[in-house]
A and B are shown apart, each in its own frame.
Chain A
Amino acid sequence: MHRTGELYGQFETLEQQKDSATLGMWIFLVTEVLFFGGLFLTYTVNRHLYFTAFGVGGNMLDLKLGATNTVVLIASSFTMAMSVWAAQTDRKKLLPLFLTLTLILGCVFLGIKYVEYKQKFDHHLVPGHSFDLTYRINHPTPGDSPKELEGERKEIEDAIQTEAAGTPQERLVALNAHTQLYFSLYFGMTGLHALHMIIGAGLLIWVIRESLKGRFTAAYNTPIEIVGLYWHFVDIVWIYLFALLYLINRHAV
């Protein structure tokens, strides 16, 4: 295993090595764009087909937590950019600090995600046999605000009318199935995103350890830069996920 900062055998110069590493990471991010892109297509098609159900599902997400997560991730992108700056300007003390802040913010994001997921689990909104979009209104807990529940009930009733004709019971079954599609996408997309964040956290732990050993200088800071590229990409995916999952039909409520 080569120590960071040394020239690997297949390269002629350090500049070629850095050039290759950066280009390699950018190309990898292209593959990630297309990877998430398949999910974005599935989302687009299903939203086009079942707009109302998607609105119902979207309104069941906690906007405050989602917006907080967006702010957290944007801040972590800022601290990541600052760590690249610290590395480039030989600020050996600030570098691990900014990296650690980035990691902490990332963990905050994951923590909030966990809270959201748990909420969904409690409300029977995890796709599967027990998926039931009416569970929450039929089984209110003391913590739920009556106004919110009433709003949700009305929204579901309005949505049922937009489903294809049949008895109200059949339409509810259809709405349930279509809302389940929304939540499959919700868990699929945010879950894949969270997986990428966990990998990003792992990468951050690695560079923090290396930076504490003083290995990164103005002359050599490629790992910081490419971890930064990866982290910013994960932020960009969330920016779109927030807009597409949380902000569908908010004004209706």
Chain B
Amino acid sequence: MSEHVVSPKIYVVILLALLLGTYLTVSAALRDFGPWNIVIALTIATTKALLVVLFFMHAKYSPKRTQLVVMCAVFWLALLLFMTMSDYVSRVDYRGVRYPVSQNFFLTHSPHS
């Protein structure tokens, strides 16, 4: 397997892109985009992560097997997060109140009542 030597020029470009991303994500966070704030933050974070994986970690120049390994990691993490959250967002307790009941814990178990 021949080694691919990545030119420092590319590394500098990626470095600048990552720094730009950091600046963007901080300034976006300081503004109010409502529910889009988290979307913007995670999109920028994922883009930065992708640049690090592809170029700094040489995944772009690695055999397909390496790329499959990376995709498996991402896929399984997504599985863990999405499938668990699918349980949480679909739960409703018998009083018709949003889960978890412990949000109302202090109401029904107050030391004073």
A–B touch (CB < 8 A): the answer is yes
Whether B8 and A82, one on each chain, are in contact in the complex, defined by CB atoms closer than 8 angstroms, is yes
Report whether over half of chain B's contact residues are helix, strand or loop; otherwise say mixed. helix
How many residues of chain B are within 8 Å of chain A by beta carbon?
Answer: 57
The residue among A19, A163, A240 with the most chain B CB atoms within 10 A of its own CB is A240
How many residues of chain A are within 8 Å of chain B by beta carbon?
Answer: 61
Report whether over half of chain A's contact residues are helix, strand or loop; otherwise say mixed. helix
A89 interface hit (Cβ, 8 Å):
yes
10 A-B residue pairs with CB within 8 Å? A15-B1, A40-B77, A63-B26, A74-B18, A85-B5, A232-B53, A240-B49, A243-B25, A247-B41, A251-B32
A19-69 contacts to B, CB under 8 A, are 19, 22-23, 26-27, 29-30, 33-34, 37-38, 40-41, 44-45, 48-49, 63, 67
The residue among A74, A80, A164 with the most chain B CB atoms within 10 A of its own CB is A74
With A40-B81, A49-B103, A173-B106: A236-B19 Cβ-Cβ less than 8 Å: no
Whether B76 and A229, one on each chain, are in contact in the complex, defined by CB atoms closer than 8 angstroms, is no
Residues of B within 8 A of A (CB): 1, 3, 5-8, 11-12, 14-15, 18-19, 22, 25-26, 29-33, 37, 41-42, 44-45, 48-49, 52-53, 55-58, 62, 65-66, 69-70, 72-74, 76-77, 80-81, 84-85, 88-89, 100, 103-107, 110, 112
B82 nearest CB across to chain A (Å): 10
Residues of A within 8 A of B (CB): 15, 18-19, 22-23, 26-27, 29-30, 33-34, 37-38, 40-41, 44-45, 48-49, 63, 67, 70-71, 74-75, 77-78, 80-82, 84-85, 88-89, 163-167, 170-171, 173-174, 225, 228-229, 232-233, 235-236, 239-240, 242-244, 246-247, 249-252
With A67-B26, A243-B25, A247-B29: A74-B15 Cβ-Cβ less than 8 Å: yes
Whether A82 and B11, one on each chain, are in contact in the complex, defined by CB atoms closer than 8 angstroms, is yes
Q: Report the Cα distance A13→B27, complex, angstroms.
A: 51
* In the complex, chain B residues whose CB is within 8 Å of the CB of A88: 3, 5
Q: Report the Cα distance A250→B33, complex, angstroms.
A: 11
